[in-house]
Structure 1
Amino acid sequence: MRYHDITKDDMLNGDGLRVVLWVSGCSHCCKECQNPITWDPNGGLLFDEKAKEEIFAELARDYISGITFSGGDPLYSGNRSDVLKLAREIKERFPGKTIWMYTGFVWETIADLEIMKYVDILVDGEFQVEQKDTGLYWRGSSNQRVINVPVSRAEGKAVLHCE
């Protein structure tokens, strides 16, 4: 897996102060995407042990609420296995931290992926400039949903996270 950045003390990509991993690779290529530089799966830097330890050092801070996977798309085919392994390890080492994930895929097509066992909140759907709304929390267009993953998995349907 490759990535473009690790941001710290982020307040825009999920609830609370978060560390954000911006992965490389996206097949959606949304019109007017805010991060088109992340589309190339060969762009950015190789995600290695040093990058993982940087994330873990941030997650060890009491005031950090958790991690957000963004990009690019963490569920791009070339990222899925590595993101799954990282999410699993984060949940094992930091069970009190939340995992948020942004993806262009919709819940109904990814609900059964193993990674969803570790995700707390999913922001799903492609960004659609025609539905852009700067007044929304944690998403860019009104077609995107902020989904409570554990409740959705239990109920067998997408259940929105209260905003």
Structure 2
Amino acid sequence: MAEFSHINQRGEANMVDVSGKTQTVREARAEAYVRMSPETLAKILAGDHHKGDVFSVARIAGIQAAKQTSSLIPLCHPLMLSKVAVDFSAEPAHNRVRIESLCKLTGQTGVEMEALTAVSVAALTLFDMCKAVDPGMVIEGIRVLEKQGGKTGHWLAEDKQ
């Protein structure tokens, strides 16, 4: 297993120097789920939620969050993202909404943290907009699905291979 890169030789937190890395196209996808009551999901899908189109607001929140990741996560590099997408799919059989993000750039460091931040904040926004009618919602399954680019190349979550 590789060494932790954010710890220096004295065991102190350290921002990794990426200046020597080659610029490559880098991409990451992440997902999260928001489990809720069937009634809440039905309201969202019917457009009957009293706060309006919750998916549009949560999408914008996720995109904004990806762009602000370096302000939220210590030691993260500020990145010039070339693409951020946040998509939602209802899964009525499981009483949940699946959120997936895609972050992309050409640069010297990966975009996994941006993809994770996008789905996390989109899920939090969905929760915030629906908590008055369903305070028992659960945010779960936040993870990286895939990453591409850089020295390590292509990585895919084991259950997606």
TM-score computed with the length of structure 2 as normaliser = 0.27
| Higher alpha-carbon Rg | 2
By relative contact order (CA 8 Å, sep 6+), the higher-ranking structure is 2
Larger helix proportion, structure 1 or 2? 2
Larger strand proportion, structure 1 or 2? 2
